[in-house]
Chains A and B, each alone.
Chain A
Amino acid sequence: MEMPKPNPDILRRKDVVLRRLQQVLPEDAVIHDPAETRAYECDALTAYRCPPMLAVLPSTTSEVSDVLRICNEEGVPVVPRGSGTSLAGGALPTADSVILGIARMNDVLETDYDNRFIRVQTGRTNLSVTGAVEEDDFFYAPDPSSQLACAIAGNIGMNSGGAHCLKYGVTTNNLLGVTMVMMDGSVVEIGGAHLDAGGLDLLGVVCGSEGQLGVVTEATLRILRKPEGARPVLMGFDDNEVAGQCVSDIIKSGILPVAIEFMDTLCIKACENFAQAGYPDCHALLIVEVEGSEAEIDYQLSKIIEIAKRHNPVELRESQSAEESAKIWLGRKSAFGAMGQMNDYMCLDGTIPVSALPQVLRRIGELSEEYGLPVGNVFHAGDGNMHPLILFDANKPGDLEKCEAFGADILKLCVDVGGCLTGEHGVGIEKRDLMSHQYAPADLEAQMAVKDVFDPNWLLNPAKVFPLDVSQPRRDARIAAE
């Protein structure tokens, strides 16, 4: 993966930048020792690493504002970082950049059940937002698999999803307002506790902009009352295509499950070995979860089971207890860990129209043979968001490159059948150079025009999202201006 060459002029001025940052931040909030900046050299896409020039850990919006103003004046790129769990390299530094870590800003600022929102500092982790309201039977709906660690800041940056977004939507559908610091240090408020921010939907643009438009320090999030109960049913099929048809039939029947998860043979075996979830030995496994009162759950599950039976499942098991439900989900939620025990893996995130599922799975199987790399499929079937996991050996020369080429082929396939490169992980550096496959030059130009408005010098989270050659004229203009 190519990254732009660090600007030698910035590296030369490291001491000046450091001194200025030290003037506005507490001593322990500025990290400059190379042994310590190394801690920020990568995110969860660990194949790519580059220590930043400096890292800062501000504690207030005003400190964030000072940092950005100084970096803007000095022409230093800034890489915002939540918890560093991006699978797309969204928080990968460049050698001439300052990492702006938001982790110290993790307070709950306001909880309002009557108006059903919570306002938090964005360094707070996803799960601890729910943690703050759980005692009162409320929850924050988006539930990315990394929810124990990932920060709301990163969720907003990537517009994160999760297993339950078929019913509750993704981050953008649960975000009501933000406090955002612009690259010049000015602070803007967008939205709030009311619905549908007036004027242009800037909130919608900021969410999912991968930290390239501003640094969101506070967020107003919609919280929901917990349903009375939830219960999954597990079903196994001998054929991927039949499982895909079953998903489509469930959705068409008028039932809207909160989650429909799909796993193929390789994943089923890996998860079973890892978590002993009691998964059957079959080609395709579905976990379908519904919510509501006991009676509602019974009704919906009986309809779902009726539909499943028409497709001759090899296994059909309705959870009988909370323990059994937890076990069923544990298998699914440990899928990435389980695959990781088998080998190094690369996790993809393309989305496809649900109807293209059989075709795409077949083609992935063929590609797997061609490349000689095994691939397991686990995904959110209700919304077509796939997570093919390609296994490779990082210590074997050439394997990573082969894996990347295989991954690129799968993502192009997703686009070609009417889907997209990434459903919830974001583009980052990982899918940056594939953007031209999904978007024509005018489409990319329109997106970059938005960046021009928010960050005219192109200093925020550089070299992400847009193909390097496409963004080059803009980045060059910045360097020439210095």
Chain B
Amino acid sequence: MKPRTEAELAETVAGLQDPVRISGGGTRGIGGPEMTIETGGLSGITLYEPGALTIVAQAGTPVAEIEAALEAEGQQLAFEPMDHRGLLGTNGAPTIGGVVAANISGPRRIQAGACRDFLLGVRYVDGKGQVVKNGGRVMKNVTGYDLVKLMGGSWGTLGVLTEVSLKVLPKPQAVATLAVRVADGSRAVGALSAALKSPFEVSGAAFDPQDGHALLRIEGFADSVAYRVGQLKSVLAEYGDVAERDGSAEIWQAIRDVSVFHGHEGDVWRISVKPSDAPGIAARLGADQTLFDWGGGLIWALVRKGDDLRARLGAFDGHATLVRAAAETVEALGRFQPESAGIQALTQGIRQRFDPRGLFNPGLMG
């Protein structure tokens, strides 16, 4: 089903008898029922005001279309959404609704914020087929409860997004990347942390153990970038040899999309932790390969197929999401970290009220 208007979508949902999969471009590999509601029929930028740093688009609008429009005005989606196609081997065009529904953020998340931090407003159709709006298109809005955040990252389980408003930011004039040669993960996180707590504003902080270098991204006006690169070189000197690396755009896109895992067999996990815990946790994973982003706060792990990584981790501060695995593994282990009883009661209560018939992406979030 591919409704072309919000009203048509609402009517479709109201008439549903069975659960459905909600799909934007179908690139995030969520699985689910065969019967699908595709949002691609709801497409197009509704409003773009560069002077107000805001863009409003229908949920099925391709991310590429939005990025092109922003590019023309020297602006960007600062949260740098990941493109999952390479990692998951999916096709199709990622949509802005999919990005929002999954709260997809890239390396700049540590400095600029996550997708949910840029989300200003949503319109969606709930499980009863009602159109609901929350938030709006202004940057500061505390009018009523913030269901905008709730819908961001709800993976379509609370409603089908029809329109989203986002804050955008100017694209930086210049970008540089520093690479620090480090012995291990703990030295790497030390270096990343030293840079992140300096006043020299870093917008990317990653570590690829295979490559053996902690990577830092510095963005802004050309002179400012040159100055901060110089300052950071001295801050980082104690952690290892520091050198500038060319090809910033490719380097950070590869980190964003976890390119080092592309084409490699195995299950992929995404683990959010306190950065200083990262080296210890990574050591316990028994992973074939890892990649650290967000200063260590995000660990990507490639593990043997079917491996129960959560069991191996035991209790830890953070959460582990199974991003890529066979359907049986996802079924057995669950995609998302199990929640405490108190939190589970709240999320189930919310789900029950937003989608009382359990229509949307059933089982995806538990």
Binding site for B on A (CB under 8 A): 112-116, 137-138, 158-159, 161, 165-166, 169-170, 172-173, 182, 186-190, 192-205, 207-209, 225-228, 247-249, 251-256, 292-293, 295-296, 299-300, 351-355, 380, 383-385, 418-427, 431, 435, 438-440, 442-444, 446-447, 449-454, 465
| B138 and A352 within 8 A (CB) | yes
Q: Are A205 and B343 also in contact (CB < 8 A) when A199-B337, A200-B365, A351-B141 are? A: no
A295 B227 Cβ-Cβ under 8 A: yes
With known contacts A295-B223, A447-B147, A228–B199 Cβ distance under 8 A = yes
Residues of A within 8 A of B149 (CB): 172, 201, 203-205, 207
- Give the Cβ gap from B46 to chain A, nearest Cβ, in Å: 12
* Contact flags B114-153 to A (C-beta < 8 A → 1, else 0): 1011000000001000111110111111111111111011
CA distance A115 to B54 in the complex (A): 31
Q: Which residues of B contact A (CB under 8 A)?
A: 49-54, 73-74, 103, 105, 109-110, 113-114, 116-117, 126, 130-134, 136-150, 152-154, 158, 169-171, 173, 193, 196-199, 201, 220-221, 223-224, 227-228, 272-276, 294, 297-298, 317-319, 321, 336-337, 339-340, 342-343, 346-347, 349-351, 353-354, 365-366
- Please pick, from A169, A186, A355, the residue contacting B51 in the complex, using a CB distance under 8 A: A355
Q: Assuming A423-B138, A442-B130, is B52 touching A251 (CB within 8 A)?
A: yes
Which of B103, B144, B339, B351 makes the CB contact (< 8 A) with A439? B144
**Contact residues in A for B153 (Cβ distance below 8 Å):** 196, 200-201
- Does B74 contact A208, Cβ atoms closer than 8 Å? no
Q: Decide: A201 and B150 in contact? CB cutoff 8 A.
A: yes
Question: In the complex, A196→B113 CA distance in Å?
Answer: 10
Q: Are A421's CB and B150's CB within 8 A?
A: no
Contact B140 A193 (CB under 8 A): no
Closest to A454 in B: B346
A137 interface neighbour in B146, B199, B336, Cβ under 8 Å: B199
New A-B contacts (15) at CB < 8 Å, excluding given A198-B319, A427-B142: A116-B197, A165-B140, A172-B149, A173-B117, A190-B343, A196-B153, A201-B116, A204-B152, A209-B145, A249-B51, A256-B169, A353-B52, A384-B139, A421-B143, A422-B141
A194-B317, A204-B116 given; A435·B350 CB < 8 A: no
Q: How far is the CA of A385 from the CA of B139 in the complex (A)?
A: 8
Provide the bound-state CA to CA distance between A249 and B142, in Å.
26
CB distance from B109 to the nearest CB of A (A): 7
Contacts of A440 in B (CB 8 A): 133
Checking A112, A299, A384, A442 against B138 with a beta-carbon cut-off of 8 angstroms, the contacting residue is A384
Closest 6 CB pairs of A and B: A204-B149, A198-B319, A248-B51, A453-B349, A423-B140, A254-B170
| Residue picked from B74, B274, B317, B347, most chain A C-beta under 10 Å | B274
Knowing A293-B224, A453-B353 touch, does A422 contact B145 (C-beta < 8 A)?
no
Asked whether A426 and B142 contact (CB < 8 A) given A195-B109, A252-B73, A446-B126, the answer is yes
Complexed CA–CA distance, A228 and B342 (Å): 43
B138 and A419 within 8 A (CB): yes
Once bound together, how far apart are the Cα atoms of A253 and B173, in whole Å?
Answer: 11
User: How far, in angstroms, from A194 to B110 measured CA to CA in the complex?
Assistant: 11
Write out the residue numbers on chain A whose beta carbons fall within 8 Å of the beta carbon of B103. 196, 201
A135–chain B nearest beta-carbon distance, Å: 14
A208 touches B142 (CB 8 A): yes
Residue of A170, A188, A195, A453 near B297 (CB, 8 A) is: A195
In the complex, which of the residues A112, A170, A446 contacts B132, with contact meaning CB atoms closer than 8 Å?
A446
CB-based contact A199/B146 at 8 Å: no
Report chain A residues within 8 Å CB of B223: 295-296, 299
Offer 11 A-B interface pairs, CB within 8 angstroms, sorted by A: A195-B110, A198-B319, A227-B201, A248-B52, A251-B52, A354-B49, A354-B52, A383-B140, A384-B52, A435-B143, A451-B145
A39 CB to closest chain B CB, in angstroms? 27
Closest Cβ–Cβ distance, residue B154 to chain A (whole Å): 6
Complex Cα gap A426–B141 (Å): 9
| CB within 8 Å for A439 and B133 given contacts A115-B275, A158-B142 | yes
- Chain B nearest Cβ from A351, distance in angstroms: 4
- Are A193 and B274 closer than 8 Å at their CB atoms? yes
Give A475 Cβ to nearest chain B Cβ, in Å. Answer: 17
> Closest Cβ of chain B: how far from A360's Cβ, in Å?
12
Does the CB pair B131–A442 fall under 8 Å?
A: yes
Contacts of A296 in B (CB 8 A): 220-221, 223-224, 227
Q: Chain B: which residue is nearest A448 at the CB level?
A: B145
User: Does A202 lie within 8 Å of B198, measured CB to CB?
Assistant: no
Query: CB distance B49 to A427 under 8 Å?
Result: no
Q: Are A425 and B114 in contact (CB under 8 A)?
A: no
A228 surroundings in chain B (CB, below 8 A): 199
Q: Which residues of B contact A161 (CB under 8 A)?
A: 140, 142
Q: Judging by beta carbons under 8 Å apart, are A173 and B113 in contact?
A: yes
Contact of B276 among A114, A208, A227, A384 (CB under 8 A): A114
For A351, what are the chain B residues with a Cβ–Cβ distance below 8 Å?
138-141
B residues within 8 A CB of A422?
141-143
Q: Could you tell me the distance in whole angstroms from the C-beta of B127 to the nearest C-beta in chain A?
A: 11
* Residues of chain A lying within 8 A (CB to CB) of residue B228: 293
Q: How far is the CB of B224 from chain A (nearest CB, A)?
A: 4
Complex-state Cα separation, A355 to B298, whole angstroms: 38
Q: Given A201-B152, A251-B52, do A172 and B144 touch, yes or no (CB 8 Å)?
A: no
Is there an interface contact between A113 and B197, defined as CB atoms closer than 8 Å? yes
> In the bound complex, what is the Cα–Cα distance between A132 and B273 (angstroms)?
25
